[in-house]
Structure 1
């Protein structure tokens, strides 16, 4: 990389692209599966439909996503988010334990013939104890319960470092990659200033 990067994005000869200090960048990986893998578990999960409960959805989304700089829904106005969550082809579910929401599973069938795993995650203290695998089993069962030819998801390098490997072990195949550059949501006020401390500020 150049020793003196400017504030303007540009492609350098060595392949690097300078990102403005007010922005963050991530490598996005797209994954898909065309048919469900053999079921691994038929154990039921305590899932609750979130529906149009925006306060519940936003609280769970933040609890899971703030440590990883999830900003998509945080930037969305209430009316736009309500339109999505109220759609009969969108299903947002909370994984509930001891009366507390600890996981989010959001499936989107709005594109004919396919389903998107729109959001999937656990609160930090629930990670690494087998709940993610069971929640994925439920995601697969629900997604392919409808007549689809493709189930897909995307994740990025701002997310949990094990995300891509988890999706691949679940049966997804990586098929595309992209670079996302976006205003730092901590600077725009969409996320708290102390979110995702592992991602440093460049514009103080």
Structure 2
């Protein structure tokens, strides 16, 4: 996450034409949640590890899960850079596969010593609200805290599903910082379909 240390002034700040802004909330946990406090729903599928050779599949799942929430970082990244991430043993990317295909994405980043980032976590639209998210979070918690880490963290934003922040807090994460992120609107550049993320107004310059 690229950060600008200069604070925003109080009040309204105009955005450059063709850009959008969202509020990012960073959350963390510094101890493993107790097993007894976690609901264990039925598995919606199996976790399949994604490697560098699965680049096309990874991007397909990333788009299916994240386009309506304006996930774009992996879509605009070069093949070389994304392949390097997926090839790194300190990054664990998984597809959730049911009998018909991928229904979710989980990515854990251990590249910072002693820390795990829940880099990407989500389900395709048809799988939301059926217990799959809780199952997938339990998988994430198990894998993160099985490693020698003292901190597990994630960030969410106002572009994401409206239930995301509460879900992370119920999972044991606690907010510790917030930022305002300004980006070029990927729907105007053709990097995402024009009708993606209807909850975020599209304002052409």
TM-score computed with the length of structure 2 as normaliser: 0.89
Which 5+ residue runs of structure 1 have no aligned equivalent? 1-10
Aligned match of 1:143 = 144
CA gap of 1:102–1:89, structure 2 versus 1, over 3 A, is same
Equivalent residues in 2 for 1:60-71, closer than 5 Å: 60-71=61-72
Q: Matches of 1:192 and 1:54 in 2, distance apart?
A: 21
1:43 CA drift (Å)? 6.4
1:51 and 2:51 are equivalent in the alignment? yes
Q: Matches of 1:159 and 1:46 in 2, distance apart?
A: 24
Q: Matches of 1:55 and 1:119 in 2, distance apart?
A: 17
Aligned match of 1:176 = 177
Aligned match of 2:120 = 119
Aligned match of 1:4 = none
Number of residue-to-residue matches in the alignment? 193
Equivalent residues in 2 for 1:20-169, closer than 5 Å: 20-39=16-35, 40=38, 41=40, 46-52=46-52, 53-169=54-170
Q: Matches of 1:109 and 1:43 in 2, distance apart?
A: 27
1:51 CA drift (Å)? 1.2
Q: Matches of 1:24 and 1:74 in 2, distance apart?
A: 18
TM-score computed with the length of structure 1 as normaliser: 0.90
1:196 CA drift (Å)? 1.2
| Paired residues of 2:115 and 2:150 also in contact (CA < 8 A) | yes
| Paired residues of 2:41 and 2:131 also in contact (CA < 8 A) | no
1:156 CA drift (Å)? 0.4
Q: Matches of 1:118 and 1:162 in 2, distance apart?
A: 18
- 1:161 aligned counterpart, secondary structure: coil
Residues 89-139 of structure 1 deviation map (CA, whole Å, 9 limit, x = unaligned): 001001111131001000000000000000000001100011000100010
Q: Matches of 2:99 and 2:41 in 1, distance apart?
A: 21
Q: Matches of 1:197 and 1:74 in 2, distance apart?
A: 19
Residues 158-202 of structure 1 deviation map (CA, whole Å, 9 limit, x = unaligned): 010111100000000000000000111112222122211222221
* Bigger mean CA offset, 78-87 vs 43-52: 43-52
- Structure holding more helix per residue: 2
Aligned match for 1:16, one of 9, 12, 17: 12
Report the structure number with the largest CA radius of gyration. 1
| Paired residues of 2:85 and 2:91 also in contact (CA < 8 A) | yes
1:26 CA drift (Å)? 0.3
| Paired residues of 2:41 and 2:134 also in contact (CA < 8 A) | no
RMSD (Å) for aligned C-alpha atoms = 1.6
Runs of 4+ deviating beyond 3 Å: 41-45
